Amino acid sequence: MMSAAHSQTTLESKLEALQCHFTWDLDPSKSILLRRKEKFEDIGTEEGNSWLGHIYNLRGFVQYKLGFTEDAQSFFNKAAEAFSKIRNADEGPWLVVNYGNLAWLHHHLGDQAESQAYLSKVNALMNKYPSPSQDQLHPEIYAEKAWTLMKFSREQKKQAAGYFQRAIRMQPDMVEWNTSYVLGLVGSFRQNKKLKADLLEKMRIAKEQDPENLYLAVHYLHQCAQKGESIEEEARALATKVLKNPVSSYSGIKPLLKVYNYYFSIDEAIDLAEEALGTNPDERYLKRCAALCYKWKIINVRDSRPNPSEIDRAISLHKEVIALYPHSFLMKNIELTSIYAQLNYGQAEAEQIYQELLERDLEPADKQMLYNSYAKYLYLNCRDYQRSIQYNMKAVAIPQQSFYRWNSITTLEKIRDRGRSHMCREIEEFLENLQEPL
């Protein structure tokens, strides 16, 4: 008879072999998890969203990681219900990840019988709906893994694109997979004209296949505007549709504001943001979008200088947003300092915010972001080049691979190569002595 210990080991090895959020190496710090939670809350859960099941699965996993097991189970159950409605079927391969999540959750709750029951459900689904390719996962699993990685981490977008491509090759009729794959590529090809042209063509085809997706339509329009095409009529027509959409970070409002700022003017972008906010005055995501527009006006003046009432509105909106996104306080406060730094009377306020942030007990990744930002502020706004170098060094000294570390390393290398700073020798020795490879 199998011992209890051996039975437990066997169960755990089977759980480890599952394809689900618990086995996909999604293990960020608590502060990042809390920020992701806020971000995912803004996605929206209106019916008709083809990714609704995946959204609930992801939110359930985040709740589990934060210690809210009851919420986690509720979200996993909602995911199963959403899949049933969207796919118009009680079961299918799209439930493999969901059942895997539930198997893991019940295992952690100590209910091994229920965990085993979900394991059995996973096996039954995989036998009934095998992958079209023997040596690969089922396309439904690749698609959910791709979507999850794309939402979870900027650094994993390339990996996500690869998974989407595999899923699409095996099941090319899934329009939403191709749409999400193409949207994941946006922003990746800024410097390469040939790749940007290829992306524009991919977006055009995706738009033809998914004509009701306003988020895709707005991103496509932005690419066309950057190419120099006339988009005025289509942009205004899209704005009317987007404003009727339920509020969501995927309604298309934020990229549409970028289109208005780029193609029309920042004042028209502000008017559009205020119109959206006037219809939905309590929506924090729209307050965030409006705050962003006012920040653009103050920081990147193209048309006209902001007047005092616009400056006051910018500051008050940013303060509201900081309160509404308490776990994203670091980035939101940094955005507020960028406004103060542009105002003749705002230098003291910006410095005070930075000093308060520097005194907080932050996780290494957050410290790195803060040091990199403060280094830029010291250089651009205070002309304090020595302290700017010191804070870039502080950012680099934290062995966390990120955009902020890379940016500080690049900045230090440029200063070293120009050879004008009296700290060039110190910078060179610092970079040479880094334990982590550059």
Contacts (Cβ under 8 Å, ≥6 apart) of 437: none
Residue 183: φ, ψ to 5° = -65, -35
- So what's the pLDDT on residue 133? 82
Question: 359: burial class by Cβ within 10 Å (0-12, 13-18, 19+)?
Answer: exposed
| Mean local confidence (pLDDT), 274-301 | 94
79 within 8 A of 97, measured Cβ to Cβ? no
| Mean local confidence (pLDDT), 313-342 | 95
| Mean local confidence (pLDDT), 175-203 | 83
| Mean local confidence (pLDDT), 187-192 | 60
Query: What are 339's two structure tokens?
Result: 């406004």
Q: Specify the 3-state DSSP secondary structure of 149.
A: helix
CATH topology of domain 186-301: 1.25.40
Q: What is the pLDDT of residues 54-81, one digit of tens each?
A: 999 999 999 999 999 999 999 999 999 9
Element spanning 152, H or E: helix 139-152
Helix orientation angle between 193-209 and 214-226, rounded to the nearest 10 degrees:
150
- So what's the pLDDT on residue 186? 86
- So what's the pLDDT on residue 401? 86
For residues 394 and 302, the model is more confident at 394
Residue 437 predicted with pLDDT over 70: no
Average model confidence (pLDDT) for the chain? 92
Residue 350 predicted with pLDDT over 70: yes
Residue 146 predicted with pLDDT over 90: yes
Residue 381 predicted with pLDDT over 80: yes
**Residue found under tokens 């019988």:** 113
Q: What is the pLDDT of residues 382-431, one digit of tens each?
A: 999 999 999 999 999 999 888 999 999 999 999 999 999 999 999 999 99
Helix orientation angle between 214-226 and 175-185, rounded to the nearest 10 degrees:
40
- So what's the pLDDT on residue 304? 67
Above pLDDT 70, what percent of the chain? Answer: 94
Which candidate, 29, 26, 28, 40, places its Cα nearest to that of 325? 40
- So what's the pLDDT on residue 29? 85
- So what's the pLDDT on residue 395? 97
- So what's the pLDDT on residue 143? 97
Rounded Cα distance between 91 and 86, Å, is 11
List, by residue range, all CATH 1.25.40.10 domains of the chain. Answer: 7-129
Contacts (Cβ under 8 Å, ≥6 apart) of 51: 147, 176, 180
Rounded Cα distance between 271 and 294, Å, is 10
Residue 5 predicted with pLDDT over 60: no
| Mean local confidence (pLDDT), 149-157 | 84
| Mean local confidence (pLDDT), 81-87 | 94
Residue 1 predicted with pLDDT over 90: no
- So what's the pLDDT on residue 113? 95
Q: What is the pLDDT of residues 228-238, one digit of tens each?
A: 999 999 999 99
Rounded Cα distance between 366 and 98, Å, is 32
- So what's the pLDDT on residue 155? 75
Above pLDDT 90, what percent of the chain? Answer: 81
- So what's the pLDDT on residue 438? 47
For residues 186 and 68, the model is more confident at 68
* Dihedral (CA of 51, 57, 63, 66) sign: negative
- So what's the pLDDT on residue 333? 96
**Residue found under tokens 């609704």:** 52
CATH 1.25.40.10 correct for 7-129 = yes
> What is the band of 329 on the pLDDT scale with cuts at 50, 70, 90?
very high
> What is the band of 202 on the pLDDT scale with cuts at 50, 70, 90?
very high
